[in-house]
Structures are given as C-alpha cells and as structure tokens.
Amino acid sequence: MAANKSYIDDFTSTLNSFRRKPSLHDITIVVKDKKFPAHKVILAAASDYFNALFVSDHFNETNKLDEVTLEHTDCASPDVIEVVLVFIYSGISNGIDKENCFDVLAAACYLQIKHLIKECSDFICDSYKGDHLAFENPLRIVKMACNYGLPELKTLGLTFMARDFKEMAQTDDFRVHMTSDLLGDLLERDDLAVSDEKMVLDAMLKWLQHSWESRRNQAWPLLQKVRLGLIPIEDVKEYICGNLSEILECNKVYYELLEYHTLKHIKPEERKGPLLQAMENAFISRKTIKALLVFPTPSTVRYYRGPRNTEVSYFCESGNTLKQPSKRSII
C-alpha cells in the first residue's frame, strides 16, 4: 500500500515547527557563536554522523551540556548549517543557491546526509548545464562525488579538471590531494587541455615526486597513460632516465620507444616484419598501444591549446605527418 502523502506532508510540517518549540529540544548544535536547538532522534534519523555520535558511549558519558560543537571546516558556517537543518526537518532544499551549493554539499558529506548530498549534486549539475555556475575547486568536488557515488557530478568535475589541467597541475592542491585513480582518469582523456604532451608527463612526475616513497608504485601504471609517442625522444630520455630510472618497466619502455621513433619514419606500406609485429604485440598486451602510438589511429587524438581563451587545435598523427583538420573554441 502506498504511503499517505497528506500524512507525510503534515508530519514533516509538524517536525519543522518543533524547531521553534524549546520545550521539546534535547540537543544544541553550536557553530561558531550561534546555537541551533534540535532533537537527537530527528538528527539521527537524517544523518549517519549524528546517529553514530548519539549512540556512542563516549558521547553520552562525557557530554553533560547536551551540546555538539561543529568545528570542522566543512561545517564552519552558521548560514550553511541553517540550510542543512531546514532540509533535515522539512525536506525543503530551496535554501541551496549558487553561492552556497558547494558549502552545503561539503557539510552534507561531512554529516553524511545522503538525500541532501543528492539534492546538492542535482542542483550543481543543473546549474552548470544552464551556464549559471563555475567550479572553483573541482578536485574537492570530484573526490566527494567519488566517496558518495555521484557519477554525474564526478563526470562534470572531471570535465572542469581536464579543461583547466594546465593551471591545476601547477597548484599545491594538485600535488598534495590528487589521487592516483583520478590522475589516471585525467591522463586518459582526449580533451585534456595542455599545450603539448610533454606537459602531461611533467605534471605526472611532479605529482609522483611530491611523495615519492608512497607513490612510486603508481609510476608505471600512470606512465602507460601518457602518450609518449608524441614527445621528442630526447625529452623522454631526460624524464625517464633521470626521474624513473629505478623503475624497471619505465626503463624498458624507453628503449622500446627508441625503436618506435626509428620505425615510425618507415613508410606505412613498408611497416612489416617480425620486429614491428613483436612491438605491436608487446604494446597491446600491456594496453599501451594508445599511449605509444605504434600505429596511429583516430583514438590517439589529444586536444592541445595555447593560453586560456585561445582557439584549440585538433591534432591527429597519421603516418609521418600531423594533420590539423579544424579549429575548435574552448569552453
């Protein structure tokens, strides 16, 4: 039997009115210098964070004032917590706007309020599609999207990260907080906005070097996603032999690239024989055929661009030449 909508509407309306009735409050949420009277059972029903907190023995033994102080940076704004509480008590999300949507999303993620997370995600995606919103910290948003299973928001955030990759790769946030999985997703994208492939390799190496001991195992998996065949062999030698020399697979691929750069000058109709076939089989078995461009195909496209707000050139290697069939405008 379907739930009675009229009853649900009346029930949530009554719950929301309880916020204004001090006689029923049993907990106070403190954010900076503002206090929000509330009810444990209602907060626990909406938030996994509050649910776990209120049933813990430590909280019940040590909290004599019936107060919870939210000091985490994701919950540092009284205005944001007001929006969160209105949603918890009423299900109303019209307090989310383009100025606070990312902050409300961060608070909802911290407090583990899954329905509010979904509301924020939908608002952000819809606002972006309507050209009403810009991402200031897409890495943070993408990580939240990954943690809470929001594929549309993750896709949107990765699009922003790819578009601004050149600038983002210079930031401390990239070197410190980027994960290997997200970096791998970016390196595989055809729409990665860089001026040349050497910039991709340089960004990858700077990320590795920031915490080499903990990240060294990611060197070879990530290197396979860089399109090394588009980088002059002298530059590849400088990077691989200098920075990645202790990684056996990286050294090996350098010598294979030497063969590739020799063989790629052979005319297409003359590209045959056991050596070339062995190279093809080896690259395919490692799934690096796309990255190394042994036999260039349309799948090896990468979009390169100059400074922001310039036109994008679309390059695709074919035989011994680079073709530029069209111009495209960046977002």
Q: What is the pLDDT of residue 327?
A: 31
Q: What is the pLDDT of residue 290?
A: 37
For the chain, give the number of residues: 331
179 lies in some domain: no
135 and 19 share one domain: yes
138 lies in some domain: yes
189 lies in some domain: no
176 lies in some domain: no
19 and 118 share one domain: yes
Domain end among 147, 163, 179: 163
123 and 36 share one domain: yes
135 and 204 share one domain: no
Give the total number of structural domains in the chain. 2
130 and 266 share one domain: no
23 and 145 share one domain: yes
Specify the CATH number for the domain of residue 120: 3.30.710.10
252 lies in some domain: yes
171 lies in some domain: no
35 and 89 share one domain: yes
159 and 214 share one domain: no
128 and 207 share one domain: no
250 lies in some domain: yes
Q: What is the pLDDT of residue 268?
A: 55
The two tokens of residue 276 are 């070339």
271 and 204 share one domain: yes
57 and 204 share one domain: no
222 and 273 share one domain: yes
Domain of 317, in residue numbers: 194-331
How far is C-alpha 30 from the chain's CA centre?
31
Q: What is the pLDDT of residue 206?
A: 94
Judge residue 239's burial from the number of C-beta atoms within 10 Å of its C-beta, 0-12 exposed, 13-18 middle, 19 or more buried.
buried
Q: What is the pLDDT of residue 292?
A: 38
Per-residue pLDDT of the chain (331 residues), as tens digits, is: 677 888 888 888 888 888 877 778 889 999 998 999 999 999 999 999 999 999 998 888 887 778 999 988 888 899 999 999 999 999 999 899 988 998 999 999 999 999 999 999 999 988 887 766 676 778 888 988 888 888 999 998 898 899 889 999 999 999 999 999 999 999 988 888 888 889 999 999 999 999 999 999 999 999 988 888 788 888 888 877 777 878 888 888 887 777 777 766 655 555 555 555 554 444 333 233 333 333 333 344 454 544 333 333 333 333 333 333 233 233 2
169 lies in some domain: no
